[in-house]
């Protein structure tokens, strides 16, 4: 990384798919302390177009070879936004080249890979952050702080449901070459992260996970509907429901001994939705959660601290997803 600590952190985007195009590149543009520098795609034209469309800062921004992209001494960090099973090798290569890594969720498709990624970043002295953008939803943040301050009393139970209706099984998540889970990887891992974020500070680690996984519509290798029942060290419980078989309003619920919070359509991309607690409506300002996560990661490098979700927490999430389909 450059010696100039005052300039923004220069990010390369690894892959040009949906989330890179619609959420991450705009977030890097809007985030304080970040600059979009270069991009990697399997296709040279796609890389060139992406670089141009999003205003890449590098004089040679478009790459089809990862090593060539990483050899750039002016580049500080990568955002890995490729298909899930590709994250591990891309992260380890970036760490080996001395670049900080902000990696999309789930960070890997096996716990062993997730642990190799954390070790590689630790050994190289670079930061590793995992992109659970829902932690930057303003209302979720307010109420996570409230839960930790005891506003709901002792936390007893939590529920999260996030589903979608896939038109067919053509998405890579439905197959095994570059995916491991379907709904669980697309959105279930976010639900798991929310539940861990809210519950663990006062309830301890997850001590028990009981899954129900169905695959009886598309008959592929991966979860179509997944229900996870969780127990924490304190005895508190949680339920997660994800599915690729039906669209429904997204819902999160937090219950304590002295209060509750109900979240309607807050899970999603836009930092929006409605929150009602036992005390009434909780008003919040909708903000772009992707900008928040990029700003936090850039600040973590600048301030030499862990980002909001570090590699160890990302790896624990992967371990639970792995346990769910074992």
Length of the chain: 326
Supply the DSSP string of 66-102, one letter for each residue.
HHHHHT-TT--EEEE-S-GGGHHHHHHHHHHTT-EEE
Closest C-alpha among 107, 98, 101, 102 to residue 125: 98
Distances (CA, A) of 118 to 20, 101, 266, 314, 320: 23, 10, 30, 9, 17
Does residue 193 bind ligand NAP (CB under 6 A)? no
Q: For 277-281, which contacts have Cβ atoms below 8 Å and span 24 or more sequence positions?
A: 277/143, 277/151, 277/152, 278/152
CB of 49 to ligand NAP, least distance (A): 10
Which residue lies nearer to ligand NAP by CB, 80 or 200?
80
* CB neighbour list of residue 13: distance below 8 Å, 6 or more residues apart: 20, 24, 25, 28, 36, 38, 39, 40, 50, 54, 78, 79, 81
Specify whether the CB–CB gap between 39 and 63 falls below 8 A: yes
Going residue by residue from 223 to 262, which x/- string records binding to ligand NAP, judged by CB under 6 A?
----------------------------------------
Which residue lies nearer to ligand NAP by CB, 1 or 83?
83
Does residue 164 bind ligand NAP (CB under 6 A)? no
CB of 179 to ligand NAP, least distance (A): 8
Does residue 81 bind ligand NAP (CB under 6 A)? yes
In the list 84, 223, 295, 308, the residue contacting ligand NAP (rule: CB under 6 A) is: 84
In the list 30, 153, 172, 220, the residue contacting ligand NAP (rule: CB under 6 A) is: 172
Going residue by residue from 116 to 155, which x/- string records binding to ligand NAP, judged by CB under 6 A?
---------------x-x----------------------
Does residue 16 bind ligand NAP (CB under 6 A)? yes
Which residues contribute to the site for ligand NAP (CB under 6 A)? Answer: 15-20, 41-43, 46, 81-84, 86, 104-105, 131, 133, 172, 178, 185
């Amino acid at each position: 990384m450059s010696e100039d600590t005052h300039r923004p952190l220069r990010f390369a985007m690894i892959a040009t798919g949906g989330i890179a195009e619609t959420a991450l590149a705009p977030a890097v543009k809007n985030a304080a302390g970040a600059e979009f520098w270069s991009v990697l795609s399997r296709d040279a034209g796609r890389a060139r177009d992406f670089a141009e469309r999003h205003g890449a800062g590098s004089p040679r921004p478009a790459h089809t070879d990862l090593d060539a992209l990483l050899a750039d001494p002016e580049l500080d960090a990568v955002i890995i936004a490729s298909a899930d099973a590709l994250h591990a090798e891309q992260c380890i290569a970036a760490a080996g080249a001395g670049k900080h890594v902000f990696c999309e969720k789930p960070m890997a498709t096996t716990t062993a890979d997730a642990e190799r990624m954390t070790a590689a970043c630790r050994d190289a002295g670079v930061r590793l952050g995992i992109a659970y953008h829902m932690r930057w939803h303003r209302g979720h943040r307010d109420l996570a702080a409230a839960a930790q301050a005891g506003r709901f009393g002792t936390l007893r139970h939590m529920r999260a449901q996030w589903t979608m209706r896939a038109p067919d099984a053509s998405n890579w998540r439905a197959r095994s070459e570059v995916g491991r889970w379907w709904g669980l990887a697309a959105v279930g891992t976010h639900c798991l992260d929310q539940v861990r974020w809210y519950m663990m500070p006062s309830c301890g680690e997850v001590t028990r996970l009981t899954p129900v996984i169905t695959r009886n519509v598309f008959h592929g290798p991966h979860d179509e509907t997944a229900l996870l029942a969780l127990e924490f060290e304190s005895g508190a419980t949680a339920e997660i429901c994800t599915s690729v078989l039906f669209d429904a309003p997204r819902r999160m619920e937090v219950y304590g001994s002295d209060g509750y919070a109900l979240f309607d359509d807050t899970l999603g991309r836009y930092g929006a939705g409605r929150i009602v607690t036992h005390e009434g409506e909780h008003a919040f300002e909708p903000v772009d959660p992707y900008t928040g996560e990029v700003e936090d990661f850039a600040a973590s490098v600048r301030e030499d601290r862990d980002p909001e979700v570090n590699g160890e927490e990302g790896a624990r999430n992967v371990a639970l997803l792995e346990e769910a389909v074992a």
